[in-house]
Structure 1
Amino acid sequence: MREIILELHHEAPAKPAEGQPCNGCGVCCALETCPLGRLRFLQRRGPCPALTWSADAQRYHCGLLLAPGSDSLLGWLCARWISAGSGCDCNAEVQS
């Protein structure tokens, strides 16, 4: 198993267990770019450029989901493509 060092905000919540609701820890998006991010940023590897820290909410958000435009269909597609609401799908082991 390869080791990757991620630098996330020190106040980010701890990564939830796989399958648990997303809490905005940012680990999954810092590890790799999702299919939507790959299309938008033409990037296949590395952290997603859309990963956005919210100081008010003390969590990470998807910048693409926050500002999809005024089109509700586009917002729905963004949420579907990043699998929003389906729970944590990141199986990475995290150490502090």
Structure 2
Amino acid sequence: MAIPLLDGTAGTRSPVKPAHGSPRNGCGYCCSTQACLVAPDWLPDHPKEGGCLALEYAAGRFVCGMIRRPSHYMPDLPNDWADGVLSDMIATALGAGRGCDADDL
């Protein structure tokens, strides 16, 4: 199954989706097909269905923008603390580092 083309990839190939439970590799499959509960709750214009608006592409892999730089998506927060504090909280809430949680294709 192809992942929809997202801005920032410049046409490069993303990593292949790993098996469910395997270490994450930044393929972006899960976030490009369905947003988690964090971004839609905090981004007022986020659609109820479809891919996440906070999915970013950097250094050859997809990353969660809400973890990478939450103040970019929540500009009313002061940048001097938001990225450090909220990044860790959001990563914990999303289970970052626990392995691929997208069903196998």
The alignment's TM-score, normalised by the length of structure 1, stands at 0.79
RMSD of the TM alignment (CA)?
1.9
Aligned pair count reads 88
Q: Does 1:6 align with 2:3?
A: yes
| Greater share of residues in helix | 2
Report if the CA contact (8 A) 1:21-1:88 is conserved. Answer: yes
Which residue in the other structure is 2:102 paired with? Answer: 90
Q: Does 1:51 align with 2:48?
A: no
The Cα of 1:41 is off from its aligned counterpart by 2.1
Counterparts of 1:82 and 1:52, CA distance in 2: 16
Report if the CA contact (8 A) 1:12-1:60 is conserved. Answer: yes
Counterparts of 1:18 and 1:92, CA distance in 2: 6
5+ residue gaps, structure 2, are 71-78
Residues 12-47 of structure 1 deviation map (CA, whole Å, 9 limit, x = unaligned): 000000001110000000110101012122432100
5+ residue gaps, structure 1, are none
